[in-house]
Structures are given as structure tokens and as C-alpha cells.
Structure 1
Amino acid sequence: MSAFLEFHLIQNFAPSNLNRDDTGAPKDALFGGHRRARVSSQCFKRAVRDVARSQSLLPEEFMGVRTMKLKQLLQDKLPHRPAEETAGKIEAALAAAGLKLKDGGKTEYLLFLGEREISAFATLVDQHWDVLGGAEKKSKKDAKSSLPKEVIDQAKSILDGGKAVDVALFGRMLADLPSVNKDAACQVAHAISTHKVTREFDYFTAVDDVPDNDDGAGADMIGQIEFNSATLYRYAALDVAKLVSNLQGDQALALSAVEAFTHAMVRAIPSGKQNTFAAHNMPQFVGVCLRHASPMSLANAFEKPVQPRSDASYSDQSIKGLAEHDDKLGKVYGHPDDAWVWLDLSGQWPSEKGTSAASLIELAQKARQLAAKNLGA
């Protein structure tokens, strides 16, 4: 039976603008007929990847890079080769794999490649330096066809995902090479506030440290920034078997990926306007649930928005409502083997509902154990 490892977070952010739209306003959405704060899934996925890399949660070789500057990365990996000769040979090697470069040397669109894939391209160029030298002298159209079949086959075989965990988790789509696409093992929802929100405006002034007049009166800059404060419900669903498949059957790496993802998911905070607001607020609740029948978002616990109360915070009410909604859905759509592990700072999650963890380290280990149990590892 398929199994999904779900992540449910309740996280209250102080005044902030973590993810803004084209006008500079915090993103929002209508849900349950009320305006809610929103942080996009793409924004949180980038934050997850940043945490994983900055905190070295996984070895560098199992991480991915999203870039249009593949040519530059390959040149940096070939310092022992003459710089004036490298560019053409790299272009020929990439053409053999079906990747094109624009006149400026960048790829046609953002690529999401594993570090191993990038290193493999560098090795290909180094190994077949002379052969690629012949191809680079031909037109872009003829360069690929002039290469030996074994070089073309080797180039094409490189694009296998490289066991990059973030590529395996979040997937990739190369428009010109559908055969190397990766279906994401992890789905991430847009985070929404559990309550209705209203945008607020910060009117600010700035004064020049070197004034033009003696009294220093008046402002030299005037503006405004939009912001909000919200208790967010965050949700992600991870298909454990798909993750193993995307990592070429490497169960040990997949389990390490689950543990690393748990750390990164909890610590992920978008960087938007943080120099202005410093909204580094950790979650009040993190629940990891192993589902056996199908994934189940609990967002509808907040279709009716949480109301402000003097005796209970938004976070406390949200965590309590989350547990009640899960109980309601579980009786109808759940599976007897569904299991929760959780970290709760509020005291609102029922103690009998799953297994508690005292720290993020312990929670990540328990999430790994749930995944291992499902895989029979």
C-alpha cells in the first residue's frame, strides 16, 4: 500500500512581509470567504533548500543547483584546461545531451541539476577534450551529429537526477528533454493564515545624516511598506516510495533525506523583508503523520476562520482545531495504521494522539523511523 509522510505546521509570524506580489504587498488569498495571509509553496520550497544547504543537512554531492549559468559552473570545474578553449567544448558536450546555450552563454531556461550531474559533465569534457574540439568547430546544428555515438550516449546518460535530494523531492521539468523530467516526490501547499487578515501599512521617513540646513528638520525620504501578522497553517505531503524511486532505489539516502527534510521544513523561514521585520518565529506545532490511504490536508479546519479571543491565542486555537479536524476526517477516511509524531509547544495537542518529541532532533529521527517502517528498512 502507498504511504505518505505528511507535515503539518502551525507557525505564528510577527509583523512581516515574507512573500510579496508584484506591487510589493504581502501575498494573500480568499479562503472560506475571508481574506487570508498567504506564503507561496515555491517560496517555502526555496527556503527549505536554503536551510538544507546552509546547515549541511546532506552532503553537497546530494544537493541540486537551479541555474542558467551551467557553462560558468563547468568552466570553474576545469581550471587545469585552457580557458580560451573550454567554452566551445562545453557547448558541444551540452549539445550532445540536448541542452542548448544562448549567445550570452546561459541556458535557455533555469535548469535544476544535481551536483553529480554537473560534475559528470565536467568529467565528460575532460575525458573527450580532443573529440569535442572537433565538434566545436562546426555549426551548432552540426556539432552534435559530428560526435561519436558513445560520447552522445554518455552525455545523455548524465541527466539521471544525480541522486540530488532536492530534485527528487521537488521535481524538475526540462521542456526540450521530457525523458529526464522528474515527478516530485513531495507536494507543498501554499501556507495560509488560520484567521482572516487585513493589510497594514508602515509609513516611514528617513533623514540624511549630513543635513543641508542647520536645524536638520524635515525628512529626506518618505515611503510606506505593506505588512501583516499571521498564524500560518503549513502542509506538505511526501510520497516515500516515490522518493526512493527518484533516488535510484537508494533507501538509505531516502531515509537520510526524510530526516534532513524534517529539519529543513521546520527551520525554513522566507527571507522577504527580513532586514526590516526580523520575523524569525519558529513553529508552535509540528506534526508528522504517516498516512496509508491517501494524503489529507487539514486546511479545512480553518475554512471558518479562527476568531480572536482574550483567553486563547490564534496558535493555541489553531492547534486544537487541527487535532479535532484530523479526528473527524480520520474516522471516515483514515487507516488503522496511520500514525502521528509531534512537537507541541502549546499543550493543545492531545497527549494520546500519537507520540511526542521533546526536540526537533528527536522529531526528525522519529519521522525517519516512520518512513523506515513503511519501507521495511
Structure 2
Amino acid sequence: MKTIEAVTYPVHFHSQSYQDLSNLIAKNNYSTIFILVDENTFEHCYPKFIPNLATDKRIEVIEIESGEINKNIETCIGVWNAITELGGDRKSVLITLGGGVITDLGGFVASCFKRGIDFINIPTTLLSMVDASVGGKTGVDLGVLKNQIGLFANPEMVLVDTSYLETVNEREIKSGTAEIIKYGITYDVKLFNEIKNNKNLKINDLIFRAVEIKNEVVLKDPKEKDLRKILNFGHTLGHAIESFYLESENKDNLTHGEAIAIGMVCECFMSSKLLNFPKEKVAEVKETIVSIYTKTILLKEDFTAIMDLLKHDKKNVNGQVNFVLLNDYEDFKLDCKVPEELIIESMEYYNS
């Protein structure tokens, strides 16, 4: 599988990529290699990764607790302190070995430490392979508000080794599949059809095409001024739903993909009301989503809290919530204003 050239860095695929990684480390003559993991990737992925790292440089492992709830500034401070205590300097490099939390937080940590050290992303979940590790967005949550603190910063390299997917459960695979569905609905409907029909599903090909699409979009619009906004489809309402479940003490958390899947159904429904997105395609998306994910009923008494969180979405301008909506598959409209009553109606449609 060929290398994808991103804005300033390559995205390598599979086992031969480890030689590229070793070459990069030797070329840049890093002083220390820091590897950021959580307890899961340290147990299941680190033993698989470390034999492939050919270097005589000093290696230090920094472990954080897993989960979106730990994607915050407090965790960053802990990592910054660890790097400092272990003698990190401006010639250090941070390798992120993990899912979306690790790559988002690790990139942010590296970009801020001593005004920026190099980092390398090695995603180990489907979600991080097709989304979080590529595109140059880094950041952490502010309380339950998703990705409120962060910056654009590119890694030196992304290494996608799909054998790490053997270490994650089916729920995490489904979480990442939501992002691939998003690319299919907004950009290349062949991807959506492959998942919908589930015939001879080749996950490696889906991953490559998803990364290719994200890279094509980011190359055209690195700072999300225009086209890159399509990558937010399903995320505007989806993030609010994810945040609500994250802060609710009496509810189980949703994965990122589960929340985004709900958001996509709702935003397809909004599209049908505002832009004449075909109703049969709304039903098609809903049927596909419900067939993949355990359905979570959004209680009416929770709508107000979800709407309140929606008002804090980082993409809002002048207090106005902006949605990406659809005229049709592969035909989108940016910065759509949606009446509050229609947002609520869309959640009722999802429940029905």
C-alpha cells in the first residue's frame, strides 16, 4: 500500500513503515524518544511496537489513564512534568501510541512543550487511523466540552499498522466505522455503500481510502476555513450528545463514533427538511446506522441539556450554531443555520 503525502509529512502503511520510522529517528538525531501510551496500549501494543523500533537512542515511556474523561489539561500537565523530570529537551521526540485520546492529547503536549518538539503518530484504533492521527488537529477537552483547547500542528510522520486492530474490541471498531460512514456520505458514496451492503468488506482498503479522503480535504483547506468543514458532518450535534453522556453520572458513556452516528442520522433529517435531501436516503442512513450500533434512546427530558451543550460547540460563530447539511450524497452545504425546534425534531426522528 503506497505512502500518502500529507501537508508536511508522510502517512506510511503496514510493517515496512517501521524502517521509515527508524530512518527518520536516525536522520533527526533525537536526544530522547518519549512514547506516550495508556494502560491498554502499554499492555497490548507497546510489546508489539518496541521490537520494530531500531534505535540506540534513550527511550522513556509515559503512561496516562485511558478514556475521554482524561483528555484534559490536568493530564497534559502530568505529561509535561514527566517529560521535564526525565530530561526532555527541544531535540526530544514524542511518539503517540494509541487511539484518538492519545494522538489528540499527545500532539498538543508535544506542540506546546518548550514551544514545540517533534511528534510521530502511531494510531492503534480504527478511529485514530482514519481520523484523529491525520490532519494536524491537536487538543483536549475543557470539562465535557469537546476539543475546546488545542492548535493545528503536524506530526513528522504517521505510521498506520492495521495489525494493532487485533488488540481492540468490536465496539471500538464500530466507533471508527462511523468516521468512514461520514466520508462516504459527504465525499465518496462508494465507501458508504460498501459498509451498507457489507459484502466482502476489506477494512484495509476502507482505511486507506478514508485517510486519502481526509488528506485530500486537508490539503485544500488546512485551517478549516471552507471545505474542511465537511469533516464536521454529524459532529455538531454528535459532540453535544457525546458530552452529555460523558457528564451524566447515571448514564453509560457513548464512544465518539456512537455519538457521531446519532448526529449523522439527525443531520440527515435536518437536511431533508431544509435542503430537500431525499427522505428515502435519510431512512437508508438511519437503517444502516441502527443495524451497526446499539440504539441509544435520547430521552425527551435530556433534550434541553443537549441543546445547552450544543451552544458551546467550538465551530459556533456569534452564538450561532453552524451545521454541515446535505443536498444529496457527496453534495453538501456548509454553515447552515437550523431552528432549535428542528434540532429537537431530528432527535425525535432518531428515536422513532
Which interval holds the TM-score relative to the shorter structure? under 0.3
Structure of larger gyration radius: 1
TM (normalized to structure 2)?
0.27
Greater helix share, structure number: 2
